[in-house]
Structure 1
Amino acid sequence: MLRATVLGASAVALPFTAWSAAYAAPAQPATGPYGPLQAANSHGIQLPAGFTSQIVARSGQAVSGTSYVWHQAPDGGAVFANGSGWIYVSNSEVSSGSGGGASRILFDSSGAVVGASRILSGTNNNCAGGKTPWNTWLSCEEVSLGRVWETYPLGGTAVVRPAMGRFKHEAAAADPDRRVVYLTEDETNGKFYRFIPNTWGDLSAGTLQVLVAGSATSGSFSWAAVPDPDGSPTATRSQVSGAKSFNGGEGCHYSNDTVWFTTKGDNRVWQLNLANNTYELAYDDNLVTSGSAPLTGVDNITGSSFGDLYVAEDGGNMEICMITPDDKISVFLRITGQSSSEICGPAFTPAGNRLYFSSQRGTSGSSSGGITYCVTGPFRT
């Protein structure tokens, strides 16, 4: 559940089956659960009291303790359990000639780096993606007729998955309950898709569908098959009459019968309620009713085990903002001195006490200046 509604003068938390019928409103600014941000630390990051940060890797430099040189323009990412430790995977949003693809960093149970290597090479503008329940990373190409590549952080050779459609891919989110994968499209008239594999766990074949709905910001939706997932000569987003357009699809996250995704063109977080096939706005900067909107330039999104959403900014004030289960939004962290960059790849460790993310262009404003961080602290779990 990521909703609470106000009935009369009392706030009542509703179970999922009940709140979908309530009159929910987009998130509004409030004081965050961790309190105000402190002064910027030595990394230029403002965090709540009790939280600390470290630099994990820098583009163009060997990852500490390894000989592997970290890729340029780190973007979407995810964390995978690996024995008593874990692996952080990160995309590289540059062309194939500049090292596009994805890399991984291996950590032991204490969070120390124990290895780093490439898991995907020769691809273009790998922006975001998504983690699967069978521990693969879907690395998505954000180019015209872009593809989804299934990579293997725990070991294995990357494989292209053309059945998932060729379009300007952004993010993916696996739904193990319905056995589908949701996909966003980074176009001003982009669509929202789902891929239904013929066999769950095997993405080599299946059906690509697109969301069909009205033009309003809330209502009911359905799905329709995309006739030609290859997207040529007709783009996938132009093949189905009534498919709903979204202005610049970005991050995507699934949990508990709900999928959230962001659109950068209008600074919105959308929410699909999959139990009853309805959609609504979880956040819209134009619908903030008091003070200034804390979240602009919406981009990657992830969730904690507690149910908080963490939304990273592309531009804005270089912040990661939180949307809590009672529809309150606040700033969790802010990176200073990097106004020409964007925050990418937020992902939690299995224990939920570490958050990894990157500043794609760092202090230099160039793809060669990317920085990958880890924040540790008393996250709600």
Structure 2
Amino acid sequence: MGNNSASTSRRRLLQGTAAAGMGVFAVTAMEGFTVRAADAAQGRPPREAEDNGGYGPLRPVTRTDPETGFQQTLELPEGFDFTLLSLSGTALGDNHMTPLGPDAMACFEGVEPGTVRLVRNHEERTDQPEAVPSGDLEYRYDPKGSGGTSTLVVQTDGSAPTVTDSWMSLSGTIVNCAGGPTPWGSWLSCEETTSGYGDGWDRKHGYVFEVPAHSDHQVDPIALTDMGRFVHEAVAIDPESGYVYETEDRGAAGFYRFLPHTPGQLAEGGRLQMLKVVDEWQYDTRTGQHAARPLAVEWVDIDDPDPAEAEENSSAVYEQGHAQGAATFGRLEGCWWGGGAAYIASTNGGDEGQGQIWEYRPGKGNGRMSGGTLRLVFESPDSDVLSFPDNVTVTPSGALILCEDTSRSRPALRGLTHDGRVFPFCLDPSNDEWCGATFSPNGEILFANLQGSTSGDPAQPSTRGRTVAIWGPWENGLL
């Protein structure tokens, strides 16, 4: 976290590429992934990067939360350290209890000098009638809703990051799994369920909500119904067109784009579409794919993005697109925009069922590729290499960090390098799910969540969710 020349160079790298949006994947990274994928297609399977991507062997580091006495051990490279920022089962600064299941999040420049803001989802899954409502009643989308988002103000100019304030910023939603940052400084929080009245809730669920990062209080929740009612996961926004790309976490899932009537004003509505591979009817991406081969795509309109039957049939939106020949993916989760493309994690896609990373690049002009191209850039050949990638983010150098959501021992934050090799950067010996990896705007701190329990009493979680901050000599390796 210091002011040495390496960290200064890292800041300059990030600032020099930030004009393209909320994180940039360098062109060299894209060329590297393409080359590595081509190697795989020729019988040379992807393999782990030597020396853990240049960071060397991992060693255990243990830190203790001073408020609760909770101890966390992470395995990190030499020179790296971490601190615990926030735990479920504790109160926020506004005295509301932190909801369970911290999941995806994003980091924004802070209002106060030397600070950043983390807007953090909570994948709270407690059913009715046991669910404990979140936030203030007047701001809840659903009076019974138990999830939402919390905002943390983090001081970053000291010896270690510290939380100086925190509050509920979106209340009364449920199962807020992933989402994504916008180029205009807000967080889009997505509900990963289509539950509703039949399950005891007072509102329909399955929507996207917008949370301005610089708001100092709970926002008025507005369900962005034109963006679809389905089992939402993540979103990524093309800063040039303003189109929003959306993933769906189901065994048979679609990849969507939302064309807003007014870019940047999502509440004004727009048109929802689903990806289709040109000249391929109901193309299935889950197995039998050829790495690096570009697939021309087009988009089919979803006539009813908010179908009345969505609660009983969570695939109601997907089925509209599939009936028009749209493509099927396996459990689409993480999605991040960078370098003119969206990078998408299929958690259990691939011949081994251990995960795929896809690139979607928008097209130009009126030709065959005008709808864009889809390309497989990485497919896990073995669970020891990569197992169930979930949330994904880009690094200042143009690599990827993949959050593993796997039952395999010691899930990792794994790097995916420019030449398409995977390595463990950070391991969790407690075997919890990694979520929400995101870098500070200057690129010096990596924030991430370990999810803990997603149901039960938020004041007494069986496993505490926790938010951590990690820093160290990033210049020693490939992230």
TM-score (norm 2): 0.70
Q: Percent identity?
A: 31
Shift of 1:15: 9.6
Equivalence for 1:335: 428
Indicate the RMSD between aligned Cα atoms, in angstroms.
2.7
Match of residue 107, structure 1, among 154, 162, 166: 154
Shift of 1:312: 0.2
CA distance in 2, matches of 1:154, 1:54: 24
Listed one character per residue, the Cα deviations across residues 92-119 of structure 1 (whole Å, up to 9, x for unaligned) are 1114733311101102342332200001
Match of residue 37, structure 1, among 57, 69, 85: 57
Q: Judge conservation of contact 1:72–1:367 (CA < 8 Å) in 2.
A: no
Is residue 206 from structure 1 mapped to residue 266 from structure 2 by the alignment?
A: no
Task: Give secondary structure in 2 for the equivalent of 1:159.
Answer: coil
Q: Which runs of 5+ in 2 are unaligned?
A: 1-24, 63-71, 133-145, 195-204, 278-282, 311-315, 350-354, 364-368
Q: CA, structure 1 residues 280+24, in 2 after alignment: closer, same or farther (shift >3 Å)?
A: farther
Equivalence for 2:4: none
CA distance in 2, matches of 1:3, 1:30: 20
Match of residue 237, structure 1, among 304, 313, 318: 318
Bigger Cα displacement from structure 2, 147-156 vs 350-359:
147-156
Equivalence for 2:375: 280
Q: Which has the larger radius of gyration?
A: 2
> 1:166-315 residue pairs with structure 2 within 5 A?
166-204=229-267, 205-213=269-277, 214-215=283-284, 217=289, 218=293, 219-233=295-309, 235-240=316-321, 241-266=324-349, 267-275=355-363, 277-286=372-381, 293-315=384-406
CA distance in 2, matches of 1:76, 1:4: 27
Bigger Cα displacement from structure 2, 29-38 vs 137-146:
29-38
Task: Give secondary structure in 2 for the equivalent of 1:208.
Answer: strand
Task: Give secondary structure in 1 for the equivalent of 2:214.
Answer: coil
Q: CA, structure 1 residues 310+15, in 2 after alignment: closer, same or farther (shift >3 Å)?
A: closer
CA distance in 2, matches of 1:325, 1:48: 20
CA distance in 2, matches of 1:228, 1:357: 36
The letter for the 1-side match of 2:272 is L
Equivalence for 1:70: 98
Aligned length: 363
Equivalence for 2:120: 90
CA distance in 2, matches of 1:67, 1:305: 36
> 1:151-166 residue pairs with structure 2 within 5 A?
151-155=211-215, 156-166=219-229
Q: Judge conservation of contact 1:68–1:116 (CA < 8 Å) in 2.
A: no
Q: CA, structure 1 residues 231+283, in 2 after alignment: closer, same or farther (shift >3 Å)?
A: farther
Q: CA, structure 1 residues 228+357, in 2 after alignment: closer, same or farther (shift >3 Å)?
A: same
CA distance in 1, matches of 2:186, 2:46: 32
Equivalence for 1:61: 90
Match of residue 138, structure 1, among 188, 198, 205: 188
The letter for the 2-side match of 1:46 is E
Equivalence for 2:197: none
Q: CA, structure 1 residues 35+15, in 2 after alignment: closer, same or farther (shift >3 Å)?
A: closer
Is residue 376 from structure 1 mapped to residue 471 from structure 2 by the alignment?
A: yes
Shift of 1:295: 1.1
The letter for the 2-side match of 1:91 is N
Task: Give secondary structure in 2 for the equivalent of 1:143.
Answer: coil
Task: Give secondary structure in 1 for the equivalent of 2:59.
Answer: coil
Bigger Cα displacement from structure 2, 88-97 vs 248-257:
88-97
The letter for the 2-side match of 1:40 is P
Listed one character per residue, the Cα deviations across residues 159-215 of structure 1 (whole Å, up to 9, x for unaligned) are 221111000000011111221111000111110001111111100211111010233
Shift of 1:66: 7.5
CA distance in 1, matches of 2:302, 2:262: 19
Q: Judge conservation of contact 1:27–1:323 (CA < 8 Å) in 2.
A: no
Equivalence for 1:8: none
Is residue 28 from structure 1 mapped to residue 47 from structure 2 by the alignment?
A: yes
CA distance in 1, matches of 2:343, 2:403: 14
Bigger Cα displacement from structure 2, 94-103 vs 122-131:
94-103
Q: Which has the higher strand share?
A: 1
CA distance in 1, matches of 2:39, 2:207: 36
Task: Give secondary structure in 2 for the equivalent of 1:28.
Answer: coil
Bigger Cα displacement from structure 2, 149-158 vs 45-54:
149-158
The letter for the 2-side match of 1:344 is C
Q: Judge conservation of contact 2:94–2:168 (CA < 8 Å) in 1.
A: no
Q: Which runs of 5+ in 1 are unaligned?
A: 6-12
The letter for the 1-side match of 2:243 is V
Equivalence for 1:323: 416
CA distance in 2, matches of 1:141, 1:323: 28
Q: CA, structure 1 residues 70+100, in 2 after alignment: closer, same or farther (shift >3 Å)?
A: same
Task: Give secondary structure in 2 for the equivalent of 1:70.
Answer: coil
Shift of 1:283: 1.8
TM-score (norm 1): 0.87
Q: Judge conservation of contact 1:3–1:24 (CA < 8 Å) in 2.
A: no
Q: Judge conservation of contact 2:59–2:75 (CA < 8 Å) in 1.
A: yes
Task: Give secondary structure in 2 for the equivalent of 1:357.
Answer: strand
Q: Judge conservation of contact 2:83–2:470 (CA < 8 Å) in 1.
A: yes
Task: Give secondary structure in 2 for the equivalent of 1:189.
Answer: coil
CA distance in 2, matches of 1:53, 1:270: 31
